[in-house]
Amino acid sequence: MSPAKKLAIVIVLQFLVLFSVLAFKQYTVWTSETVLLKLQPADLRDFPRANDATVEYEISRLDRTSIAWDESAGTCCGMPVYVELQKQDDGLWKAIAAHDSHTHTVDGTVLIKGRAQGEYLYQGQTVSVYYGIEDVFVPEGSASQLPTGRDHTIAVEVKVDRFGNATPRHFVVDGQQVDLSRR
């Protein structure tokens, strides 16, 4: 086989791998469940000027005494934990249970996969969970379009696939999607 044909095959294979990764991600977004996760109160004007803002969700800190908690879920730092979310009357999704495996206990719930954080998880009743959705895209200079203060409910629309993987999509303020624009 000539060197040109070998090079062409390598290039085609690279494009196929890249296309398959992108296609899988897009398929995940199209077929995922949409959940609305409330943010912890924060001053959003403090967002950096970069394109990613680090946010903290209400489900980022879970009180083991207020939800059903499998004893083996998140027993060690970095261990996977599947948090079961249920839609509430206000449209927001709340944690109702934490599991060590991909297990639903209630119909109509969604499982989101995270990792338990901290070295001594059981010293207190609160466990911090990192989901990989804490960095949300914010166009530079547009954070000022988000209201501040406790008078508003600020949430992020998140897509969660059947495996528990999540992708943040949009900010939602008081039930309305906010389209942040570049300045």
Note if the pTM is more than 0.85. Answer: no
Q: pLDDT by residue for the chain (183 residues), tens digit each?
A: 899 999 999 999 999 999 988 887 777 778 889 999 998 866 555 554 445 667 889 999 988 888 888 877 766 677 889 999 999 999 999 999 999 888 888 899 999 999 988 654 555 678 889 999 988 777 666 666 676 667 788 899 999 998 998 988 888 888 888 766 544
**Under 8 Å CB-to-CB from 57, ≥6 apart: which residues?**
37, 38, 39, 40, 131, 133, 134, 156
For residue 151, give both structure tokens: 């008078």
